[in-house]
């Protein structure tokens, strides 16, 4: 999987860098080798954040996190510039050759002005998205109703915490404080809580012990727990007093049951999802933690409420489009008969600590008798 991802990213980086170079230098008199070196430079910058994830990163020592933030910022700038450049040029070509209302898209002075203007817009958007990604998320409140619930019940769902070396411990603590201030009965972590090797997050994991919920804190595997090692993730949960659910359930009250299954990708590593085992027949209102939203459609899923994450709501526009195409359930509430799915945009980020038109959220859900 890692090799496949590397090959895909390398191919994407070459395509992106080549097209950007053509639109920046195609109307100039620069030689082929100069253009070639510019394209290679853009490709290296585009790939640099992912290279920093490999074991070579400790070579940078205390500067690793700062370098990672800069690398991801530049990566997002290149990504946004490429996407908006393509959209701009399509419109520009159509309006010039069809309506004849813009100068030629091959006129050097016009291309230069358009590129500089777009670059300024991209840097502004990237700076704003960095602010959005680094701040503590706002609280989103949702109220649901059920005949199965005898008295009010509340929870906070925090999928996609993504504990990794570039995450600030202060931010994590503030997220937990914000969660505790809501005084939920339960806190749930529906996957992608752990996203780095143990030695890289040894200062972050103990902070998870600060959650306060009278009926407990529960977690399941997301796809990133599978990537870094499910056994290691379980050890982190156990050490911080978090109950890990693997095709299991707990009865919190006579009328409330919480269940958890691993991410669907666990089937590939010999840890199959077992909905029947996780949710034996009951009259209690069943809340299922399942990281990937499309697990809502799995046979034997009888949960009254499924809590998921995974999509990040696209995280950085216009990446939303690809996520929306790949995920039937993008973000928000979905219904199937009496069953409900809530897909959170996530409380943190993967990769760039940046968000554009998809703010992170701390989700407070209250379930009331109907």
The DSSP output letter for 198 is G
CA–CA gap between residue 192 and residue 263 (Å, rounded): 9
CA–CA gap between residue 358 and residue 343 (Å, rounded): 13
Residue 78: φ, ψ to 5°: -65, -45
Burial class (CB in 10 A: 0-12, 13-18, 19+), 191: buried
SS3 category, 248 = strand
- Print pLDDT tens along the chain (370 aa): 567 777 888 888 889 999 999 999 888 888 888 999 999 999 988 888 877 765 545 555 556 677 888 889 999 999 999 999 999 999 999 999 887 888 899 999 999 999 999 999 999 999 999 999 999 999 999 999 999 999 999 999 999 999 988 888 999 999 999 999 999 999 999 999 999 888 888 899 999 999 999 999 999 999 999 988 888 889 999 999 999 999 999 999 999 999 999 999 888 888 899 999 999 999 999 999 999 999 999 989 999 999 999 999 999 999 999 899 999 999 999 999 999 999 999 999 998 899 999 999 999 999 999 8
Supply the pLDDT for residue 120.
97
CA–CA gap between residue 203 and residue 168 (Å, rounded): 10
C-alpha distance from residue 331 to each of 146, 193, 258, 294, 327 (Å): 22, 18, 21, 12, 9
Q: What is the CA radius of gyration of the chain?
A: 23
**In the chain, what are the domains?**
2-133 (no CATH), 138-369 (3.60.21.10)
Helical (H) or strand (E) element with 186: strand 186-189
SS3 category, 318 = coil
CA–CA gap between residue 351 and residue 353 (Å, rounded): 6
Q: What is the length of the chain?
A: 370
CA–CA gap between residue 346 and residue 322 (Å, rounded): 17
Report H helices in 56-168. 64-94, 108-134
SS3 category, 92 = helix
Helical (H) or strand (E) element with 187: strand 186-189
Nearest to 314 by CA among 294, 291, 342, 344: 344
SS3 category, 104 = coil
CA–CA gap between residue 309 and residue 263 (Å, rounded): 11
Supply the pLDDT for residue 63.
66
């Amino acid at each position: 999987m890692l090799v496949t991802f590397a090959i895909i990213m390398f191919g994407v980086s070459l395509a992106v860098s080549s097209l950007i170079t053509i639109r920046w230098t195609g109307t100039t008199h620069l030689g082929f080798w100069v253009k070639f070196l510019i394209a290679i430079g853009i490709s290296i910058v585009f790939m640099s954040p992912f290279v920093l994830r490999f074991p070579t990163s400790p070579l940078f020592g205390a500067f690793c996190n700062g370098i990672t933030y800069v690398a991801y910022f530049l990566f997002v700038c290149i990504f946004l510039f490429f996407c908006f450049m393509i959209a701009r040029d399509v419109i520009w070509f159509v309006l010039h050759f069809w309506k004849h209302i813009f100068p030629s898209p091959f006129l050097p002075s016009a291309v230069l002005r358009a590129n500089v203007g777009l670059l300024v817009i991209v840097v502004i958007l990237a700076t704003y998205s960095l602010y959005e990604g680094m701040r503590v998320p706002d609280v989103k409140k949702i109220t649901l109703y059920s005949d199965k619930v005898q008295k009010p019940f509340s929870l906070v769902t925090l999928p996609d915490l993504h504990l990794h070396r570039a995450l600030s411990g202060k931010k994590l603590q503030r997220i937990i404080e914000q969660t505790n201030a809501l005084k939920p009965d339960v806190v749930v972590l529906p996957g992608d809580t752990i996203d780095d090797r143990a030695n890289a997050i040894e200062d972050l994991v103990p902070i998870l012990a600060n959650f306060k919920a009278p009926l407990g804190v529960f977690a399941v595997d997301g796809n990133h727990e599978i990537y870094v090692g499910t056994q290691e993730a379980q050890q982190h949960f156990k050490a911080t007093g978090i109950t890990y659910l693997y095709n299991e359930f707990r009865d919190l009250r006579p009328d409330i049951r919480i269940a958890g299954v691993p991410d669907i990708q666990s089937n590939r590593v010999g840890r199959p999802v077992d909905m029947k085992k996780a949710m034996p027949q009951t009259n209690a209102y069943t809340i299922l933690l399942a990281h990937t939203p499309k697990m809502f459609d799995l046979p034997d899923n009888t949960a009254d409420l499924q809590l998921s994450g995974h999509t990040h709501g696209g995280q950085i526009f216009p990446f939303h489009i690809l996520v929306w195409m790949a995920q039937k359930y993008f973000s928000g509430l979905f219904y199937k008969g009496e069953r409900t799915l809530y897909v959170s945009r996530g409380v943190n980020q993967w990769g760039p600590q940046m968000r554009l038109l998809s703010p992170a959220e701390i989700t407070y859900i209250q379930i009331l008798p109907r």
